[in-house]
Each structure stands twice: as structure tokens, then as C-alpha cells.
């Protein structure tokens, strides 16, 4: 027991302060890293989970992979699972991708015209509603159009954040 007292007396107060400061800094960095990882892990769910849809009873099926939005989901498997669930009225497929437009990151959501009508109430402010023969057409909010100075009939080039490949829509 005496040796513990001798060891404690031999330690300088500045060494104790430096040790406590080091522990505090490392703990803070650990908490920040955990917060960042938690945010990155939940980013996909925050983007993918629907908001403001007519039906509040929605099941979102996502697939996880090493990079966001690169997973593959078996359509047949999802339909087989959901067919056995009581109360399922409709299966809607939506493709999500992160893209870059004018240096800003945006989420491009792809779904069919009928699914869009089913999921949300919307009105066309300018232009025409989607038709079945509309390929590479996009429907954007008035806010996004104003922010980027977009008008009906404009061509927009978006870039994949993962491949830097341009896509004209």
C-alpha cells in the first residue's frame, strides 16, 4: 500500500492535468466520430422514408450496401413477402439517387406517373402533366426551379456523385 502512496506523490500535478486533458480530448473525438457515423448510417433512411404522402401506413423496403443507393432489391421477393401481409393495397417502386446540379447535391426520385399520383397530391404550376411517352422528364418543385433558374423545357445535366458521369434530363 505504501508503494501506491509513493507513486502518487511522485507524479507531478502537470502530468495529471495533461493526462486528464488527453482523456477529455480523446473522449470528445470519439463522441464526434460516433455522431458522424450515426448520421451517415441514418442518412439513407432520412432520404428514403416518405414524407407528406397521402397514406400514412407505408412500408419502406430498402437494401443496404457499401455505398448509398447502390443496393439491389429483389422485386419478386418483396412482392412475395408483401402479398402475405394483411392490408397491403399497393406496391410502389421508387428509385433514389443522389446527383449534383450546379454544384449542389440533390436527390433524384424516380417513379412512374401513376405511382406519383397515388402517393402524393400535386398540381402542375407550369407545363404539362406527365404522359406515358415522356422519357427523361423531370417534375421539380417551384422552389427548386426558382433556386436554379429552371423553366419548362430546359435541359438539365445532373452528375452522379459516385461516377461523375453526366446525365441529361
pLDDT score of 102 more than 80: no
How far, in Å, are 62, 97, 104, 151, 162 from residue 47 at the CA level?
A: 11, 10, 16, 26, 17
Distance CA 58, CA 84 (A): 16
Distance CA 22, CA 37 (A): 22
Which pLDDT value is given to residue 22? 93
Which pLDDT value is given to residue 65? 55
Model confidence over 64-93: pLDDT tens digits?
A: 555 555 566 777 888 888 877 887 777 777
pLDDT score of 151 more than 60: yes
pLDDT band with cut points at 50, 70 and 90 for residue 26: very high
> Over the chain, what is the mean pLDDT?
75
pLDDT score of 106 more than 80: no
What share of the chain in percent tops pLDDT 90?
A: 7
Distance CA 122, CA 118 (A): 10
Joined grid coordinates for residue 84: 402475405
Distance CA 151, CA 164 (A): 25
Which pLDDT value is given to residue 110? 76
Q: Is the dihedral of CA 19, 20, 26, 30 positive or negative?
A: positive
Question: Region 29-41: what's the mean pLDDT?
Answer: 83
pLDDT band with cut points at 50, 70 and 90 for residue 21: very high
Joined grid coordinates for residue 20: 486528464
More confident: 46 or 86: 86
Give residues with Cβ within 8 angstroms of 112, minimum separation 6.
Answer: 93
pLDDT score of 17 more than 90: no
Distance CA 77, CA 120 (A): 26
Amino acid at each position: 500500500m505504501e508503494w501506491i502512496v509513493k507513486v502518487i506523490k511522485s507524479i507531478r500535478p502537470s502530468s495529471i492535468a495533461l493526462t486528464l486533458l488527453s482523456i477529455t480530448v480523446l473522449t470528445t473525438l470519439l463522441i464526434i466520430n460516433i455522431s458522424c457515423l450515426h448520421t451517415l448510417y441514418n442518412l439513407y433512411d432520412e432520404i428514403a422514408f416518405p414524407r407528406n404522402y397521402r397514406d400514412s401506413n407505408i412500408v419502406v423496403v430498402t437494401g443496404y450496401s457499401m455505398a448509398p443507393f447502390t443496393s439491389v432489391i429483389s422485386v419478386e421477393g418483396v412482392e412475395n413477402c408483401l402479398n402475405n401481409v394483411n392490408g397491403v393495397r399497393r406496391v410502389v417502386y421508387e428509385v433514389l439517387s443522389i446527383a449534383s446540379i450546379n454544384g449542389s447535391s440533390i436527390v433524384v426520385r424516380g417513379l412512374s406517373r401513376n405511382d406519383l399520383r397515388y402517393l402524393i397530391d400535386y398540381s402542375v404550376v407550369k407545363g404539362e402533366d406527365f404522359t406515358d411517352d415522356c422519357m427523361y422528364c423531370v417534375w421539380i418543385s417551384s422552389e427548386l426551379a426558382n433556386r436554379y433558374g429552371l423553366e419548362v423545357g430546359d435541359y438539365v445535366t445532373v452528375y452522379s456523385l459516385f461516377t461523375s458521369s453526366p446525365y441529361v434530363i
